[in-house]
């Protein structure tokens, strides 16, 4: 059995977690005879996910876990192009890593927060575009022979610069829930799992990425679903 996790940064961050704490690693420990492959992309939306779906299809995985959407759904104070230009200027000025991090923390993030308080939010993608991208990814995976597709809900975010983030995230999650109507697709509500245990405990110190507990909760939900799938005789 081959399991592919195809996702944004939530499957690969944060970097400081100990080996074995991320949910892909937990799955590998659980299914020792299986191959678990993680293809995680930081800062990307479902549009980028769809653009690289052929790379995911080449894995020929039996089970694919799709963990996209947070970058689509977050309310922003700056357009994506504007934020990218500011970040590129940091490299043009040849700022070192520590200075770039400081500039983000002390200038860029507060600027985005302030702009979000002053105007309506920008979104990298509309929810209907997010859904369309998921549908295209799912259809492509099914045509490539994937037997089981699991869609993870977008998890909550408490980082201050995304004002009222979870209201918007839940709106996007409502759209994603409808994907269960597509054949062989399961929706797992990671958001509800985090809510049950407390958002802050499930998020890292940046209040954005999964904490070790958050990864454990995601893994437990995925394992329950996979166990149910592999223990049910085919055709039933």
Contacts of 29 (CB under 8 A, 6+ apart): 20
Give the β-pairing of 63-67 and 185-188.
unpaired
| 114 CA to centre of own chain | 25
Please give the Cα distance from 126 to 46 (Å, whole number): 11
Beta-carbon-side half-sphere exposure of residue 22 (alpha carbons within 13 Å): 19
Number of helices (H), then strands (E), in the chain: 12, 5
- Percentage of the chain exceeding pLDDT 90: 92
Could you tell me which of 228, 57, 37 has the C-alpha nearest to residue 139?
A: 57
Q: Give, in words, the CATH class of 2-75+125-230.
A: alpha beta
Domain(s) labelled CATH 3.40.50.1110 in the chain stretch across 2-75+125-230
Is 173 within 8 Å of 67 (Cβ atoms)?
no
Contacts of 215 (CB under 8 A, 6+ apart): 17, 21, 22, 23, 26
**Mean pLDDT computed over every residue of the chain:** 95
Residues 154-205 have pLDDT tens digits of: 999 999 999 999 999 999 999 999 988 777 799 999 999 999 999 999 999 9
Q: What is the pLDDT, as a whole number, of residue 233? A: 55
Instruction: State the pLDDT confidence band at 234, using cuts at 50, 70 and 90.
Output: very low
Residues 58-114 have pLDDT tens digits of: 999 999 999 999 999 999 999 999 999 999 999 999 999 999 999 999 999 999 999
Model's pTM, two decimal places? 0.93
Tokens 């894995």 sit on residue = 59
Is 121 within 8 Å of 112 (Cβ atoms)?
no
Instruction: State the pLDDT confidence band at 232, using cuts at 50, 70 and 90.
Output: low
Give the β-pairing of 35-41 and 63-67.
unpaired
Residues 118-132 have pLDDT tens digits of: 999 999 999 999 999
Token pair, residue 144, equals 């490539």
Q: What is the pLDDT, as a whole number, of residue 180? A: 83
Please give the Cα distance from 100 to 106 (Å, whole number): 10
- For residue 20, pLDDT over 60 is answered with yes
């Amino acid at each position: 059995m081959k399991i592919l996790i195809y996702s944004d940064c939530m499957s690969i961050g944060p970097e400081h977690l100990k080996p074995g704490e991320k949910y892909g690693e937990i799955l590998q420990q659980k299914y020792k005879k299986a191959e678990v492959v993680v293809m995680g992309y930081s800062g990307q939306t479902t549009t980028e996910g769809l653009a690289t779906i052929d790379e995911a299809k080449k894995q020929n995985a039996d089970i694919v876990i799709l963990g996209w959407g947070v970058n689509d759904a977050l309310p922003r104070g700056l357009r994506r192009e504007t934020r990218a230009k500011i970040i590129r200027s940091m490299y043009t000025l040849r700022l070192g890593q520590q200075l770039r991090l400081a500039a983000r923390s002390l200038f860029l993030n507060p600027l985005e927060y302030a702009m979000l308080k002053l105007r309506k939010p920008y979104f990298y993608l509309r929810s209907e575009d997010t859904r369309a991208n998921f549908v295209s990814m799912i259809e492509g995976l099914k045509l490539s022979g994937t037997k089981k597709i699991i869609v993870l809900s977008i998890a909550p975010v408490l980082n201050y610069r995304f004002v009222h983030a979870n209201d918007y995230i839940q709106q996007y999650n409502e759209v994603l829930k409808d994907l269960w109507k597509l054949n062989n697709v399961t929706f797992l509500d990671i958001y509800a799992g985090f809510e049950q245990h407390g958002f802050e405990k499930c998020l890292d110190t940046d209040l954005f990425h999964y904490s070790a507990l958050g990864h454990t909760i995601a893994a437990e939900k995925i394992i329950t679903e996979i166990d149910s799938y592999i223990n049910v005789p085919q055709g039933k």
